[in-house]
Amino acid sequence: MARTKQAGTLAVDTFNRNTPDHATTAPLNVSGMKEGQRNKRTRRQWGGVLDDYGFYLLLAGLALLAGLVYFSRNQTDSQVQQLTTELNSVIGKVKTSYRGQYDKVTMAGLIGNGIFRDLTTMTEASGSVILQPGGGTLTVAPSQLLSANDSLQWTIPNQPDAACVSIVGSYQASAGKIIVNNTVIKAVGATIDPSKVSCSGGSNTINLFTS
């Protein structure tokens, strides 16, 4: 019995020496896997937070862009309305002051007369008058509808589409002739031809002939 017990003990010792220490190794591997899982979970959580943050930033950017577009459009509409009103006033003053003497009308003379003083859409700059919207330079010159120097030609360049339509609409009855982008839309003695009105491209030139 003693010999058998010793043999059994020797066999167990031999088995323990030749067998890898799984009991020691396994917990380390499991611990490592758990740490990796925690890292992955943390990265996923941070990734979700960053995705949400980026999404809200995108929404905020779109809202800001929409606000700027809306503000710009409203500002342009306001300038168009004001330009039409002030242009009517300027042409009316020039008619009153120079009727029958349109051959004497020059931009320098009108600036000297103070015609453009205190206007918000027409600004005097180095002997010229700059229009807003558009930033074009207003010009005026004696012209002819039926006889020499019986009218004035006002050239209003670089106007956005909305301003073009507004100015044409305001003068379709009172102007003796209207040209839009080199196309005569109202001939002398005729009514305006709506089919020829083409205000497009965001940079239009209108020529008004007033008497």
pTM: 0.66
Residue listed under structure tokens 């080199």: 182
Neighbours of 211 (CB within 10 A): 16
Residue 70 lies in a domain: no
Q: What is the pLDDT of residues 41-54, one digit of tens each?
A: 666 666 665 566 66
Residue 127 lies in a domain: yes
206 SS3 class: strand
**Domain tally, the chain:** 1
For residue 192, the enclosing domain spans 79-210
If we measure between CA atoms, which residue out of 162, 159, 150, 166 comes closest to residue 203? 159
DSSP β-ladder status, 128-131 and 137-143: antiparallel
Residue 100 lies in a domain: yes
Neighbours of 161 (CB within 10 A): 16
pLDDT at 78: 86
> What does each C-alpha distance from 207 to 28, 32, 52, 167, 171 come to in angstroms?
88, 82, 55, 10, 11
Q: What is the pLDDT of residues 121-149, one digit of tens each?
A: 999 999 999 999 999 999 999 999 999 99
Please list the pLDDT of the chain residue by residue as tens digits (211 residues): 444 444 444 444 544 455 555 444 444 444 555 555 556 666 666 666 556 666 566 666 656 555 444 444 565 678 888 999 999 999 999 999 999 999 999 999 999 999 999 999 999 999 999 999 999 999 999 999 999 999 999 999 999 998 999 999 999 999 999 999 999 999 999 999 999 999 999 999 999 999 9
pLDDT at 49: 59
pLDDT at 80: 87
Residue 30 lies in a domain: no
CATH number of the domain residue 131 falls in = 3.30.1690.10
Residue 153 lies in a domain: yes
